[in-house]
Chains A and B, each alone.
Chain A
Amino acid sequence: MMTDWLLVAPVILALLTGTVAALFMRWRTFSMQVIWVGAVVQVVAAIALLMGVLEEGIVAVSVGSWPAPFGISFVADNLSAAMVLITAIIGLATVAYASADLASRPSYPLYQVLIQILLVGVYGSFLTGDIFNLYVWFEVMLISSFGLMILDANRVQIEGAVKYVILNLISTLVFLLAIGLLHGATGTLNMADLSMKVPLMDDGKTTLIASLFLFGFAIKSALFPVFAWLPASYHTLPSGVVAIFAGLLTKVGVYALMRVFTLVFSLPETGLQPLLIIIAGLTMLTGVLGAASQFNIKRILSFHIISQIGYMVMGLALFTPLAIAGGIFYIIHHIIVKANLFLIGGYLNRKHGSDNLGQLGGTYKTQPWLGVLFIIPAFSLAGFPPLSGFWGKFMVIRASLETSHYILAATALFVGLMTIYSMTKIWSEAFWKAQPDGQTTEPLTRREHWLYLTPIVTLATLTIIIGLAVEPLYQFANTAALQMLDSTQYVNTVMGVRP
């Protein structure tokens, strides 16, 4: 009974927080207090949900007393629960960071409200067990991200937003079309029910519909060759916003890929597996090569999102328990590390008024501790042991060697090497190099200082903890992968639930 409530709690809490804060927007202090309390409570609820899942296995609830497959189900397995917790943590970190970074902007309270609504969409996508409902949560997420993109926008930001909006609209339309065809072919929308009925469809139909899903989610998660919207739009955003975008948005796409291609379709049966393996390799490669040519922190990091997405999709594409566990591990690690790197970049930007590497420098001399804080996520991203990124890479590469995909493994290793190149570029330019002439330094108040640094320190600590406590997390990811590859438990839980 308790878990029933916990399953819908993240969505309801974020929605409530956002709505109340929006209603009292004119009383700014009160409205911001609501946001803070709401963000903290979401983390608590997410921890409780994860505990519940660890204790009881997969949990599910049917909303509105309609039994599955007729009603809309909310389901949490290991993957969903972990994603919800990470989302809540990043949400809280962003709320703290934004209250320093964005506070001077004219529409500041609206930023915080929209971040909450964005979280509603993300939580909903992770928890829903109904594919049309997934579409609706995607739209919630999308429209609030559109809003965040154009608040107080300048010309470049509007240009970036046009590209972001156009490609994401195409993606949702294709996704909707795929849902329509799937419903026409099977007569159901519940993912657990679909997983029983899709195998009865003939192969041609399966491949067609699966390809549409793949295309729709590929745009969402910025896979090769449809990633162009990401490097064109992310770097135009304010740091407080780009951190949550970089951490969460593309990962929702990857999550949807993982869910749909394990539960609804079994990837090897769709015939798309070889294609996805090639896509994963090319995504890694183009992302990292794109990053190598950039000289601006946000742009470098944006391209690295793409290359890292490749590793996650590689986990899915190989489709062995180890590979999928590696993919899941990688998503969790990546959300924390990537958001953290953007936060550090944003801090430098605020402090020195630029995120162009040519205009930065000497940070190691003035703030050596910031150098340490940068090194942790940067090395983790590149995959140095014993930080979290190493284990994620280790698992997917080992899985690719086990399945004799040697070229893919070599690509993954090469991309890791190139990641080090990009990270040392930021390091040597922004931290190591002598301070350039005419660099301005904006003094920050003590409060701002803390609001900037607490999220950075927290996320860096989490990275180290994940790296050191890898064994329990590996077990957790492994269980998650097994739950996904054998959908019996998921289906039984959903179809057997009492309303």
Chain B
Amino acid sequence: METLWSIVVGIMLGVGIYLMMERHIVRFIFGLMIVSNAVNLGIFVSGRLTKGNPPLIDENARQLAEGFANPLPQALILTAIVIGFGLLLFTMILAYRAYIETGTADLNQYRESETS
């Protein structure tokens, strides 16, 4: 199960990075969304995927028994998703503003700030 999802993460990263290399800013943002979610999914998968077992540690044990999913990565991606969402919104608004200011969404046209 984890192997399958690792491959999915890999494909998503590939697609996302391809889109991020595009010159059009909206495609870049789509790429950003996909990569961001791929990373979150990767963390999620790294905590094992199991069905229907609550992650409770036995009274005498020091760690989770085999076959349980580690709940910590799930808590981590909760944080990461929220942060990612905020950053994504900011990027979208910035891209729109850049489009209004420059009249183009082609990243290669943003030359005025370049050092020449």
Contacts and interface: CB of A to CB of B under 8 A. Distances in A.
Partners in one complex: yes
B87 interface: yes
B101 to A, nearest CB: 4
10 contacts: A136-B79, A143-B86, A155-B112, A158-B94, A162-B98, A166-B91, A169-B32, A169-B87, A180-B43, A236-B113
B79 A163 contact: no
Contacts of A226: none
Interface string B80-116: 1001001100110011011001100001001111110
Given A139-B83, A173-B35, A232-B115, A165 B76 contact: no
Contact of B113 (A132, A159, A176, A290): A159
A166 B94 CA distance: 10
- Chain A CB count within 10 A is highest, among B28, B72, B90, B94, for B94
A177 B46 CA distance: 11
Interface in B16-51: 20, 25, 28, 32, 35-36, 39, 42-43, 46-47
B102 to A, nearest CB: 6
A473 interface: no
Given A143-B86, A170-B20, A159 B46 contact: no
Contacts of B98: 158-159, 161-162
B21 to A, nearest CB: 11
A173 B90 contact: no
B29 to A, nearest CB: 9
Interface string B40-74: 00110011000000000000000000000010110
A49 to B, nearest CB: 27
A22 B34 CA distance: 34
Contacts of A153: 97
B110 A159 contact: yes
Contact of B76 (A139, A183, A303): A183
Given A136-B83, A159-B113, A232-B113, A183 B43 contact: yes
Contacts of A142: 87
A143 B90 contact: yes
The 3 closest A-B pairs by CB, nearest first: A184-B46, A180-B43, A159-B113
A95 B86 CA distance: 27
Contacts of B20: 170
Chain A contact residues: helix, strand, loop or mixed: helix
A160 B115 CA distance: 11
B86 A183 contact: no
A319 B36 CA distance: 34
A233 interface: yes
Given A163-B110, A165-B91, A232-B115, A177 B32 contact: no
A299 interface: yes
Contacts of B102: 155, 158-159
B111 to A, nearest CB: 8
B61 to A, nearest CB: 15
Contacts of B47: 183-184
Interface string A335-370: 000000000000000000000000000000000000
Nearest to A161: B94
Interface in A150-201: 150, 153, 155-163, 165-166, 169-170, 172-173, 176-177, 179-181, 183-184, 187, 189
Given A146-B90, A169-B87, A233-B113, A162 B43 contact: no
B87 A139 contact: yes
A233 B115 CA distance: 10
Nearest to B20: A170
A164 to B, nearest CB: 10
B115 to A, nearest CB: 5
